[in-house]
With several copies, the nearest count.
Chain A
Amino acid sequence: MPAMNMIQAVNSAMDIMLARDNDIVIFGEDVGYFGGVFRATEGLQKKYGLDRTFDTPIAEAGILGVAVGMGAYGLRPVVEIQFADYIYPALDQLVSEAARLRYRSAGEFTSPLTVRVPCGGGIFGGQTHSQSPESLFTHVCGLKTVIPSNPYDAKGLLISAIEDDDPVIFFEPKRLYNGPFDGHHDRPSGIWANHPLGEVPADYYKIPLGKANIVREGKDVTILSYGTMVHVAQCATEETGIDAEVIDLRTLLPLDIDTIVESVKKTGRCVIVHEATRTSGFGAELSALVQENCFYHLEAPIERVTGWDTPYPYSLEWHYFPGPDRVGAALKRVMEG
């Protein structure tokens, strides 16, 4: 199997889908000729033509509005929002339109869109190139929310997202584009070629939405996380020596509740890790669900390790980013609880 980084995996998914289905069109700011500021769509315009992968005006709400109209026609638009931080102008078209169209038309009109959204920090992007707004989308019924943590999953999940008949917000943790990242910013970063999940089949395959992945089995405590934080969690596990079961949620909505509940019932302890700000982050929902479903099995309070409730501060980003030390400390607290 070829080694791919996450950009290549995402590119490969779109390449394959453009070839398979003429109803798929890809567009967004700078995604056409240039191939996207992260190069995720590189080569696609040249290969499939001007009308299959093209640039757009800089108007995120326009991009989504147009995508909703195309979806209603019967196409399957795959759009890119250049940074998660710039998705807010498009929120109305997502929340009020894409997410509710099937419901309000009693199934006649649908929005089979995929919205690719690079997210997360750790690249010195400052407050407007670092955000993780996934929790907002999980509050919106009618949307699905996906966040892969590695190239293999990224490709398989993206193909599933594109084929899904409901609107899917597909977050891509940009800190993982080039390699796995465990939070140790002071050490050289790894590359995907050296990681088992950097081996990605060249062909079509799918990873189903709504299925979590147990990336490390363990019996002491369950770590729930997604995106970049999966790697941080694994690192903290190794560094503390605590036998944690690390679950990569992959899809936040619909959530794989069974895998979560089974694990927490086994371990009796739970730590939730995400990069987004804490208050009303998706960790809150996870904590509530775990508590509701595993109350009588819990031996210690569920802990949340998250970004602080401040904007992502440019030069202080490593004080903001929830790294392995903070996760490790939470693991220890939970084991003592």
Chain B
Amino acid sequence: MKNTANSGLHVPEPTARPGDKVDFSYIAIPPAGSVRMPDTAVDPSEIRDLCYDLIRVMDENGQAVGPWNPKLSADDLRRGLRAMTLTRVFDDRMMRAQRQGKTTFYMKCTGEEAVAVAQGMALRRDDMCFPTYRQQGLLIVRDWPILDMMCQVFANTKDRLKGRQLPIMYSTKEGAFFSISGNLATQTSQAVGWGMAAAYKHDQRIAATWVGDGASAEGDFHHALTFAAVYQAPVILNLVNNQWAISSFQGFAGGDRTTFAARALGYGIPGLRVDGNDFLAVYAVTAWAAERARAGLGPTMIELFTYRASAHSTSDDPSKYRPADEAACWPLGDPIDRLKKHLIALGEWSEDQQKALEEELTEYVTKTAKEAESYGTLDQGVAPSPATMFEDVYKEMPWHLRRQRQEAGI
């Protein structure tokens, strides 16, 4: 036995490193449709088993099966497919812009598009989102202008954040999308506070927040769960388990020992575990949790089981720490492919239509990127005025900042 007190310190290791054969055999995948759907008013103690299960709706043939089938209209499904595809095209374009030096940094959500897009669809347009950095799909499914997003990425003269934030750290009150923080997990307890405020104000809106498997180890997430449970806040706590936190596999966040959904049990909160690449399942669990929250039945925690198919960010090279073909071997497939297959199975879509959609969106993104670039890119140095640097530190500028602005000569 390696892991004993008197035989050394146990340090977790993933099943495969670069050069090894990918091994996902440890992942148990129950058949689609096999998990029961409880009433939203269920007592959390009656659904503890759901933390260890995996809610799935789409089967191998692209059919939607079982109680969690949200029975979305074909139009809604196409809307979801479009938003996911647009997200992927947008990501690819921005990634290329970074490679071209037009911006310094970018983060993709490839393989995880269903998370933000399906959840964004299941939430109301004014439910307040406290995302981390891989939920650009929320903005996209809410039809937030991608031009606006690009201007932020380019930190140009139309950047609504005045060049103050790293690319992709979007923020829009109108979009009900909270300012992304560089500091992991801080948004989770903030979301609970927002939800508490909404409850206090007898407001129908609810809050939702996202945190990564890695970041869930931060104390803030524990505080979010505790406060959410104590005050029964109308909030959805989403944990996106995409298997990796930069170079660290989910075993370093505790994933070797149990599911992340099981965290909910310690707080008496319902915990759902869902196939994060199954658009329908993600939609359904989110709608269930939103209904609970809106009915005043309290918080829900959702583990979205997915896979980070791309690099962590443009600063990262995953081939250094995981097998190059790991993404391709991910047993739960690709969320866009799977929803497309479902729509085709329904007779509501075709490969040709998908191709046409991709072309249309590529053209749209390219055109929009050109427009965004016309307002400047970082390398061109067409940035917001340096004088703005001293604004918004406080509501009113105190003397010392006025003096410093003078000193800066701007």
A and B touch in the complex (CB under 8 A): yes
| Contacting residues of chain B (196-221) with chain A, CB-CB under 8 angstroms | 196-198, 200-201, 207, 214-215, 217-220
A254 interface residue per 8 A CB criterion? yes
B164: A residues at CB distance < 8 A: 103-104, 106, 126-127, 311, 313-316
Q: Are A129 and B166 in contact (CB under 8 A)?
A: yes
Please, which residue of chain A has its CB at the minimum distance from the CB of B233? A66
Question: Quick one: which of B353-407 are within 8 Å of A by CB?
Answer: 378, 383-384, 386, 388-395, 398-401, 404
Task: With both chains docked as a complex, state the minimum distance between the C-beta of B124 and any C-beta of chain A, in angstroms.
Answer: 16
Near A by CB (< 8 A), chain B positions 215-245 give 215, 217-220, 222-224, 226-227, 230, 245
Interface-located stretch among A72-80, A215-223, A226-234: A72-80
* Residue B52 CB within 8 A of the other chain: no
Which of B17, B163, B167 sits near A313, CB closer than 8 Å? B163
A25 and B9 alpha carbons, distance in the complex (Å): 11
* Interface set, chain A 210-269, CB cutoff 8 A to B: 210, 253-255, 257
Does B219 lie within 8 Å of A66, measured CB to CB?
no
List 18 A-B residue pairs with CB atoms under 8 Å apart, sorted by A's residue number.
Answer: A37-B246, A50-B13, A56-B227, A57-B217, A58-B248, A59-B217, A62-B227, A66-B227, A68-B193, A69-B190, A71-B193, A96-B186, A97-B181, A105-B161, A108-B173, A254-B398, A310-B389, A319-B386
* Contact present for B246 and A108 (CB under 8 Å): no
Asked whether B252 is an interface residue with its Cβ less than 8 Å from the other chain, the reply is yes
Tell yes or no: A308 within 8 A of B by CB.
yes
Distance of A66 Cα from B229 Cα, bound (Å): 13
Q: Is the CB of A310 within 8 A of B390?
A: yes
Closest residue on chain A to residue B321 by CB atoms = A34
B321 touches A86 (CB 8 A): no
| B171 to chain A: closest residue by CB | A105
Give the one of A33, A75, A257, A278 with max B CB within 10 A.
A33
CA distance A54 to B233 in the complex (A): 15
Residues of A within 8 A of B194 (CB): 69-70, 72-73
B190 touches A313 (CB 8 A): no
Pair B223/A57 contact, Cβ less than 8 Å: yes
Q: Does A196 sit at the interface, judged by CB under 8 A?
A: no
| Interface status of A93 (Cβ within 8 A of chain B) | yes
Q: Which residues of the other chain, B, contact A37 by a CB distance below 8 angstroms?
A: 246, 315
Q: Is B315 a contact of A97 with CB atoms below 8 Å? A: no
Chain B residues with Cβ below 8 Å from A313 are 162-164, 389
- In the complex, whether B141 has a CB less than 8 A from a CB of chain A is no
User: Which chain B residues lie closer than 8 Å to A6 at the CB level?
Assistant: none
Among B163, B179, B184, B188, contact of A108 (Cβ-Cβ < 8 Å): B179
Q: How far is the CA of A34 from the CA of B249 in the complex (A)?
A: 11
**Interface centre among A30, A50, A105, by most B CB within 10 Å?**
A105
Contact assessment for A310 and B393 in the assembled complex, using a CB-CB cutoff below 8 Å = yes
What 8 additional pairs, Cβ within 8 angstroms, besides A124-B104, A257-B400, A279-B400? A29-B246, A51-B8, A58-B214, A66-B227, A72-B190, A73-B198, A106-B160, A314-B163
- Cα distance, A88 to B159, chains bound together (Å): 29
B164 — nearest CB in chain A belongs to which residue?
A313
Q: What residues of B have a CB within 8 angstroms of the CB of A319 in the complex?
A: 386, 389, 408, 410
> Is A72's CB under 8 angstroms from B178's CB?
yes
**Set of chain B residues within 8 Å of A126, measured between Cβ atoms:** 164-166, 169, 182
Q: Does residue B350 face the partner (Cβ distance < 8 Å to A)? A: no
What 1/0 mask marks residues of chain A from 22 to 38 whose CB sits below 8 Å from any chain B CB?
00010001101110010
User: A279-312: which residues lie under 8 A (CB-CB) from chain B?
Assistant: 279, 308-311
A107 contacts B by Cβ under 8 Å: yes
